[in-house]
Amino acid sequence: MHKKILVTDGIAEDAKKILEAKYIVDLKKGLSPEELRKEIRDYNAIIIRSATKMTSDIIEYAENLEVIGRAGVGVDNVDVKSATKKGVVVVNAPGSNSNSVAEHALGLMFALARKIPEADYSTKAGKWEKSKFKGIEIEGKTLGIVGFGKIGYIVAKKAIGLGMKVTAYDPFTTDEKFSSLGIERANKLEDLYKVADFISIHLPKNKDTIDLFNKKEFAKMKKGVIIINSARGGIIVEKDLADAIREGQVGGAALDVFESEPCASSPLFELDRVVCTPHLGASTDEAQDRAGIMIAEQVSDVLEGKPATFAVNVPAVSSEAAEAISPFFELCDNIGGLFTGLFEGNLETIEIGYEGKIADYDTKILTNMILVKILGRYSPENVNIVNVGLIAEENGLKVKEIKSLKAKDYINLITLTGRGRESELSISGTVTGMKNRPRFVSIDKFAIDMVPSRYMAFVKYEDVPGQIGKIGTAFGKLNINIAAMHVGRKKISGEAVMGLNLDSEITDEMLKKFKKLSGFENIKVVNLV
């Protein structure tokens, strides 16, 4: 009996032909969630775009479903965890829309620079207001790109061809990638703000980027800067941007994405110096054809029992290896999360060492779990354990595994070492007890014994009497309870590091007060999620 595929949001004709050669394909657009719950029972695969939401309750009804194909890059509309629990493979089409999104970002920039939408509306209204719509040239202007992944790179390349100067910020991309285009690298966002006439955003939406561009950040930018966002909604605080435009600090904005979509109301809609489009970045014939074909081929492979090229949730690992390495999953997630919170500078190389019994197995999945935590923070791609190696390679990040079956202090030990031009950080961890609880045993080469927790803080200080008391007192005055305290040092009266497990989050304002109360400036706050 032929397997059945449901297509809910349309698909390219060539992609449809690939599927119809082997399967029964039904196109049913505009299904409500209730209708989809009923329909999904009969299908082995479903292919969707952004309009269809594959929520946990819909997936629960999918008795025969083997694969969800997202004909595009983002999988925000798929409950990947529920799919994984159900044993359903989720595949997407990374890179299929990169050029289209890059071109749209530049199109928005042109539209704003030359006031094209306003001039179009005025002219069609029977007016001829030539002097009212005087614009600016983009040649010779500086474009600041925030997020130098695949799309950011394409934008930079095209902007250079238009005669623009380009400065980009991305701490997890190597110098080689910047130098390949001969563009300026900003080591801090503030460095980019100082020079950019236009800022184009190409970041993922995550805990580190939500509300990243706010009132405080706009105030640091060059007066009159023009901002373009074709990445993800929620990265910009729309009210703050509207205020900055009214005040003249920001010269204008062009947005293809919004905090809430579909977006029917925004403070930005009231402003003349704003151009808005309804998330059209990937809406080109070419991008949709590429995405459709990529998804059709992958869905076909999965239904035939073959591995998918871009599976979001399926690592390749044997059952024997899975049993041996699965106790280290949480540890690797913790190590990667701690590293992103502590590392400063531009990351160029990552070295992951495995010591003890763990070194006898294929540890690629563990390495990838660590990389996902690191690269997922800044990459505009949807980073997962399947594609993270490719994304690291595209960003010029050198990744190396080192293995030794000889155990020293621990039965198993995992050590992450990250290096940049001027910085290096190493973190070691292991698992202990019957429940394989993760522990940090070394941070920045300081021996320590610390159980990871959601809220943590790390303080470096001179190892002299009274220091620990000062730290505890300062947190007490802030009404922050210390659940556990761990101290590591290399020698008496030398430098020491204190790791603290906290019961609640430290806000930026609290951090300022802590520094003032305690006198310690070298403190890092890390929240693991």
Catalytic amino acids? 232, 261, 279
Name residue 483's amino acid. A
d(CA 203, CA 381): 8
Give me the helices (H) in 162-206, please: 175-181, 189-195
Tell me which long-range contacts 427-430 makes (C-beta under 8 A, separation of at least 24): 427/335, 427/338, 427/339, 427/342, 429/331, 429/334, 429/335, 430/331
| Matching residue, tokens 């998918």 | 308
Nearest 5 degrees, angle CA 419-CA 421-CA 422?
Answer: 90
d(CA 250, CA 102): 22
**28 closest CA partner among 5, 3, 50:** 5
Q: 3-class SS at 78?
A: strand
3-state SS of the chain: helix, strand, coil percent to 5?
Answer: 35, 25, 40
**Encoding tokens for residue 268?**
């930005």
Which residues touch 331 (CB under 8 Å, ≥6 apart)?
414, 429, 430, 431, 438
Q: Are 43 and 19 in contact (CB under 8 A)?
A: no
Query: What's the distance, CA 475 to chain centroid?
Result: 32
**CB burial readout 415-445, b (16+ within 10 A) else e:** bbbbbbeeeebbbbbbbeeeeeebbbbbbbe
Taking the CB of residue 331, how many other CB atoms lie within 10 A of it?
Answer: 23
> Rg (Cα) of the chain, in Å, rounded?
25
455 phi/psi in degrees, rounded to 5: -110, 120
Q: Are 5 and 44 in contact (CB under 8 A)?
A: yes
Q: 3-class SS at 82?
A: helix
398 phi/psi in degrees, rounded to 5: -90, 125
Q: Are 269 and 258 in contact (CB under 8 A)?
A: no
Q: Are 365 and 326 in contact (CB under 8 A)?
A: no
